């Protein structure tokens, strides 16, 4: 049960300073922006609530790939292991 105000994490890559800044802000502060955009939902049940290194790698990789979609510099410097093409044929 959540007792505190719900928050979210926002990561910003600044190409000028070449820095990734991560913010921790109340959800309702950016509720307007969230309502206008799609979310990528990952139910933790699918991972049996095991939020381990692999999960962190995937989540962090997603954030970095998202930021890199708007920065060629970051894209050029990514060295991340990804899954296959999401719209490609299923792996099994």
Partner 1 sequence: MRVELFNYGRYRYMLCGPSDLSPRERYETELDALAAGAKLFADRNERHWASQPEVVARIRTFIKESIPWHLSGMWEDNPREVVTCLCRCVLDGSVVILRAERASSYAARSKAHRDDLKAYNQAIDERIARAASALKPFRHVETIAEAGARNCAARAASALLTSVASAMPARNDAFDLGEVTDAGSRATPLGDAAPFEYSPSEPGGDLLSIAARGVSESHEAECFAKYEIDMDLCSAGGAMFQSPAYYMACKARAFANYQQCRGY
Binding stretches for partner 1 (CB under 8 A):
36-42, 46, 57-59, 61-66, 69-70, 80, 82-83, 85-87, 90-91
Report the residue number, 5 or 32, with the smaller CB distance to partner 1. 32
Spatial distance between the Cα atoms of 48 and 72, rounded to a whole number of angstroms: 36
**Which residue, 72, 33, 62, is CA-closest to 80?**
62
Phi, psi of 48 (to 5 degrees): 55, 35
Tell the smallest beta-carbon distance from residue 48 to partner 1 (Å).
14
Tell the smallest beta-carbon distance from residue 1 to partner 1 (Å).
26
**Which residue, 61, 76, 58, is CA-closest to 18?**
76
Tell the smallest beta-carbon distance from residue 18 to partner 1 (Å).
20
Report the residue number, 3 or 22, with the smaller CB distance to partner 1. 22
């Amino acid at each position: 049960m959540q007792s505190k105000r719900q928050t979210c994490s926002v990561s910003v890559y600044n190409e000028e300073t070449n820095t990734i800044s991560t913010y921790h802000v109340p959800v309702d502060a950016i509720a307007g922006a969230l309502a206008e955009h799609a979310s990528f939902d990952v139910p933790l049940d699918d991972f049996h609530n095991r939020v381990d290194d692999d999960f962190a790698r995937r989540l962090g990789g997603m954030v970095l790939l998202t930021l890199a979609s708007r920065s060629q510099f970051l894209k050029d410097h990514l060295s991340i292991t990804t899954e296959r093409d999401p719209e490609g044929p299923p792996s099994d």
